[in-house]
Amino acid sequence: MKLIFASNNKNKIKEIKNQLPHGIEILSLEDIGCNVDIPETAKTIEGNALLKADYIKRHYGFDCFADDSGLEVNALNGAPGVYSARYAGEEKNDTANNAKLLQELKDCNNRKANFKTVIALHYKGIQHMFTGIIEGEILEKPQGDKGFGYDPLFKANGITKSFAEMSLEEKNAISHRGKAVKQLVDFLLSVQE
């Protein structure tokens, strides 16, 4: 089975490929010659996942899936949320995003947050959605050098390490994206001929 993953984010592609069983192969946007930065103009994480999947289905005709993820911080009324990648500006700079988040929470005791991933799948003419959420908190300062995005600042409940201190396998076992991808894989295995 081959599916297009509507992304050129090499970190996300690596994380998802790491979870796929033998027999399910994903191709990136680069693999199909799509160099467009698909607009993410929806007001929700679910909406952006759908926009990206719909774009590939409409323009290329392939069965495909897309994801969108966001960090939702309780004290910031769910921000950065759908704007997580561009929190500190359009250039999608992880370091700047992390610095802005720490600044916003500078005098805040409530550091509860969650990471959320939504995967939108187009498969044989039917649309499916899969959601993964992990609860945790924002650390006082970055810890670890693995991962990407807000990983150095996020520690899941009941875990002693930040996401950036975990191996890919450890992170995938508990993360928001890991949970959503597991649902996707379970579905694909259930419909595989």
**Cis amide prior to 80 (ω within 30 degrees):** yes
Between strands 25-27 and 2-5, the pairing is: parallel
Q: Which segments of the chain does DSSP mark as H helices, in order? A: 10-17, 45-60, 94-104, 168-174, 176-191
* Residue-wise pLDDT tens digits, 54-102: 999 999 999 999 999 999 999 999 999 999 999 999 888 999 999 999 9
- For the stretch 162-178, pLDDT in tens is 999 999 889 999 999 99
| Structure confidence at residue 193 (pLDDT) | 60
Percent of the chain scoring above 90 in pLDDT: 81
- pLDDT, mean over the chain: 94
Provide the pLDDT for residue 105: 97
Residues assigned a catalytic role: 68
Question: How far is Cα 90 from Cα 154, in angstroms, rounded to an integer?
Answer: 22
Q: Which of 6-10, 32-36, 123-127, 155-159 has the lowest mean pLDDT?
A: 6-10
